[in-house]
Amino acid sequence: MPEKFPTFNVEQEKFKQLEKLREDAHTQIEREVAERIKNNPRPTEEELLVGAFHEMIEPHVRDATFGMYKKGYSTESSGFGGENSEYQQIDGYFEIDAQTKEKLEAIGAKILKGEDIELPGFGDDYTFIRFSPQEADLNKIKEKWDKIVSLLPEKNKPVLPSTSGGSEDFRKTFAPERIDIERQAIEIQLASGNFSPEAEEDMQKRLEKIKLIESVLTNKPLPLETVQKILDEEKINEWPDEEAIVEHIKNKPEEAILEVEKYREDIEKAGDDPDAIIAEYKKFKDFDKLEVIPLNKLPYWEKIISYLGEDRAYDLSNLNVVLIEDEKYWKAFFGTNPSKSSFDINTIILKKDIFSDKDISDEQLSWLVHEIGHIKVYDMLEDNLKNYENIFRESGEYINTSMESVAFQAQFDFLKSVGKSKEECVDFIKEYLNESYGEDTELTEKDKKAKERDLGYLVNYVNNIF
């Protein structure tokens, strides 16, 4: 009987080789992406549109992907496809005209729509360019892609940034401040008119939200109309629990000590003793004189609801706030104001002797409304909070900023709602500045000018309300 030999399947062997090429390509991607993040983690404008570092794209299709963007074709994915990596594909939100389609098909490429490949969820504005390599050779595959892109005509319209989940995650990770890319994508999509009324309504809502975030990121004072829109925004984040808040408060002394060490030379140049300051902070290392309660358990919550309205108040009702009863601790970490909030954690910190009193004055209660304004800004900024914190701190400004324009105008609007006059609000401002700066007779000329400047900013906010 003749000896039997296994049948050699050419196609199966090619698939194996293609799969090996894909594995090698992704090994290269992992290595190059790690190097890129280590050495230069800032995306270029082109990479922001594509939604990936150049190194994140399969090597043989990098030039094609970025080349298509330069010509006005928005892509969503590219490279090896199929169960066995048997075909190459670039797909995205672009159209191929009949003449170009004929040219591409003449060199072995297929131009497909979702319905052609049993993916009916993709609309008519979504296109797949696909071909099957004749050989498992990356250089030849790359040549084919480069030829395909060379046949594509330039499009004379703005390119749609990639909107895939991976692209959005990329921008949030490596350029969270570039929310303008998402705005650009939505504006182009709305202009196309290819969406249902319901989808367009959702996109319009998101567009308005992005514009609010961008207005805050300017760090310029906002008009009252914008402030009201921010207060109207629905909560998107979970409020921190009691354990996280307690840890935050207990870490304050250690954080303050590290800050003193960081600026030791500056403190010494100013004539102060860093070691003495550190010694004071160490006294509060085991601080525990605090109470964490939901906002709606404060004895004057109904008054806050009366001002905010049921819808606004609902989102805030279970926000945990901190009551601090140690005067020395308060002065050491929070200064003269009776209330604080923090970029680091979405909570409000209050002096217990003032804010546990059900008969609290309207002026003192207005500081809680002020902090609610901060919390609404923190929550609304989404992934841009850290970016805004840097913008805010680097500006060297306090009152004349977008965040404080929200907080102070909400505060003065509350005072107006409980019957306070414009003159009473101005008197309240002056008292606040005297506590913050000191009386004029005690101040240097420089501090007098700063105090007068801040008074002007605050009076402008009052004028916006009245």
- Collapsing DSSP to helix, strand or coil, 350 comes out as strand
Note whether 29 and 137 are same-domain residues. yes
Note whether 192 and 269 are same-domain residues. no
Note whether 198 and 290 are same-domain residues. no
Closest to 290 measured CA to CA, from 339, 345, 239, 329: 329
Per-residue pLDDT at 1: 47
Q: What is the largest CA-CA distance in the chain?
A: 116
Return averaged pLDDT per consecutive 10 residues of the chain, 466 residues in all: 53 86 95 97 96 97 97 94 87 95 97 90 89 93 98 91 89 90 90 86 95 96 97 91 92 92 92 92 90 95 95 92 93 91 91 95 98 96 90 94 98 98 97 92 92 97 98
Q: What are the contacts of 188-192 at 24+ separation with CB within 8 A?
A: 188/158, 188/160, 189/160, 189/163, 192/125
Q: What is the CA radius of gyration of the chain?
A: 30
Q: Does 443 fall in a domain?
A: no
Question: Looking at 240-347, which runs of residues are DSSP E strands?
Answer: 290-294, 320-324, 339-341
- Locate 290 and state its tokens: 């605090």
Q: What is the DSSP letter of 135?
A: S
- Locate 268 and state its tokens: 């010494």
Give me the domain span that covers residue 18.
10-151
Q: Does 311 fall in a domain?
A: yes
Note whether 63 and 134 are same-domain residues. yes
Note whether 17 and 144 are same-domain residues. yes
Closest to 95 measured CA to CA, from 68, 66, 58, 132: 68
Per-residue pLDDT at 176: 85
User: What is the DSSP pairing of strand 348-351 with strand 320-324?
Assistant: parallel
Per-residue pLDDT at 9: 67
Q: Does 250 fall in a domain?
A: yes
Q: Which of the listed residues 378, 409, 443 is the one where a domain comes to its end?
A: 378
Closest to 152 measured CA to CA, from 81, 50, 53, 66: 66
Q: Does 162 fall in a domain?
A: no
Q: Which of the listed residues 378, 413, 431 is the one where a domain comes to its end?
A: 378
Q: How far is Cα 390 from Cα 116, in angstroms, rounded to an integer?
A: 49
Note whether 209 and 245 are same-domain residues. no
Q: Which of the listed residues 378, 394, 428 is the one where a domain comes to its end?
A: 378
Note whether 89 and 14 are same-domain residues. yes
Per-residue pLDDT at 196: 85
Report how many helices (DSSP H) and strands (DSSP E) the chain contains, helices first: 22, 8
* 264 contacts: CB under 8 Å, gap ≥ 6: 274
Distances (CA, A) of 241 to 91, 147, 294, 382: 44, 57, 10, 19
Q: How far is Cα 365 from Cα 388, in angstroms, rounded to an integer?
A: 27
Q: How far is Cα 223 from Cα 405, in angstroms, rounded to an integer?
A: 8
Neighbours of 92 (CB within 10 A): 23
Closest to 226 measured CA to CA, from 235, 237, 216: 216
* 3 contacts: CB under 8 Å, gap ≥ 6: none
Residues 412 and 425: beta-carbon distance below 8 Å: yes
Q: What is the pTM assigned to this prediction?
A: 0.82
How many structural domains comprise the chain?
A: 3
